[in-house]
């Protein structure tokens, strides 16, 4: 099947919207958000600019969809670990933290967009904006911390606050790595293990 025929299938089967979102995410693996434009997308997908505008009336509308897709991808990766019955709770938390950081590093522009002021802006301006994947991810982590409390791994304190401490740790490390701090880049694994153990001890006290 030729490329043009594949692209026509996207369009006629109403998959163009998904194709546009995935193409933006692909671009963000190597480029920045400023490189995204409708003309470039239409050339890459082999469709007209009008076809793209039928699905996304503005860049903001497109970025909203890309943000949601990014959180869907993150949730899917973390959920695999959460559902792994072969891992104990401590190593589930450990692997979720590591996977989160690796997710950020894999596509810095995607990660920055997901957690940018664009997300805050969307929440304020759109009453119907719901980031279900982000909520699901957070509640998944909270449930892990609740289980950790029941097994005596952590003190019985507010699991939501404990989850926020965890997110602050992994987001902080991801941000330091993406901002180019040489020590973080050179010692990523060791620094994660060290901060993870510090967090674990802190949540036991």
Find the CATH number of the domain harbouring 41.
Answer: 1.10.10
Which of residues 57, 84, 103 is at a domain's end?
Answer: 57
pLDDT of residue 151: 93
Specify whether 114 is located in the same domain as 158.
Answer: yes
**What CA–CA distance (Å, rounded) separates 48 from 39?**
8
| Number of Cβ atoms within 10 Å of the Cβ of 136 | 15
Domain check: are 75 and 1 in the same one?
no
85 and 52 within one domain: no
Rg of the Cα atoms in the chain = 20
From 57, 75, 105, give the residue that closes a domain: 57
pLDDT of residue 1: 40
Q: What is the DSSP string of 146-205?
A: HHHHHTTSS-SS-HHHHHHHHHHHHHHHHHHHHTT-HHHHHTHHHHHHHHHHHHHHHHH-
Regarding whether 84 and 53 lie in a shared domain, the answer is: no
Looking at residue 174, its pLDDT comes to 93
What residues have CB less than 8 Å from 56, skipping those under 6 apart?
17, 20, 62, 65
**What does the pLDDT profile of the chain (205 residues) look like in tens digits?**
444 544 555 555 468 999 999 999 999 999 988 899 999 999 999 999 999 999 999 888 899 899 999 999 999 999 999 999 999 999 999 999 999 999 999 999 999 998 877 666 655 565 555 667 778 899 999 999 999 999 999 999 999 999 999 999 999 999 989 888 766 677 888 999 999 999 999 998 7
95 lies in the same domain as 9: no
N-to-C CA span, the chain = 62
Which CATH number characterizes residue 76's domain? 1.10.357.10
pLDDT value of position 131 = 66
Alpha carbon separation from 146 to 74, 136, 151 (Å, rounded): 21, 15, 9
Same domain for 88 and 45? Answer: no
52 and 89 inside one domain: no
Q: Is 86 left (phi over 0), alpha (psi -120 to 50) or beta?
A: alpha
Domain boundary residue, one of 33, 57, 81? 57
Question: Does one domain contain both 53 and 79?
Answer: no
For residues 47 and 104, state if they share a domain: no
Residue 13 and residue 72 in one domain? no
- Position of tokens 């992994």? 170
Which range of residues forms the domain containing residue 20? 1-57
What gap in Å lies between CA 52 and CA 37, rounded to an integer? Answer: 11
pLDDT at 121: 66
Overall number of domains in the chain: 2
Q: What is the spatial distance between Cα 117 and Cα 60, in angstroms, rounded to a whole number?
A: 12
| Cβ-contact 67, 146 below 8 angstroms | no
Q: How far is CA 178 from the centre of its chain?
A: 14
Q: What is the pLDDT of residue 125?
A: 60
Q: Residue 103 is encoded by which pair of tokens?
A: 């997710």
Residues 42 and 70 in one domain: no
Pair of tokens at residue 43: 């050339």
Same domain, 145 and 98: yes
């Amino acid at each position: 099947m030729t490329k043009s025929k594949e692209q026509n299938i996207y369009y006629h089967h109403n998959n163009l919207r998904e194709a546009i979102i995935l193409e933006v995410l692909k671009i963000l693996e190597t480029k920045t958000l400023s490189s995204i434009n409708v003309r470039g997308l239409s050339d890459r997908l082999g469709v007209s600019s009008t076809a793209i505008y039928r699905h996304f009336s503005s860049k903001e509308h497109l970025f909203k969809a890309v943000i949601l897709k990014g959180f869907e991808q993150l949730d899917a990766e973390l959920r695999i670990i959460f559902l792994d019955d072969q891992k104990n709770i401590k190593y589930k938390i450990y692997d979720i933290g590591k996977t989160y950081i690796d997710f950020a590093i894999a596509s810095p522009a995607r990660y920055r967009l997901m957690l940018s002021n664009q997300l805050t802006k969307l929440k304020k301006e759109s009453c119907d904006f719901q980031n279900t994947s982000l909520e699901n991810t957070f509640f998944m982590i909270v449930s892990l911390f609740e289980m950790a409390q029941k097994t005596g791994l952590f003190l019985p304190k507010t699991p939501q606050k404990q989850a926020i401490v965890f997110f602050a740790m992994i987001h902080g490390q991801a941000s330091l790595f993406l901002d180019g701090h040489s020590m973080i880049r050179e010692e990523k694994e060791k620094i994660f293990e060290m901060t993870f153990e510090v967090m674990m001890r802190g949540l036991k006290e």
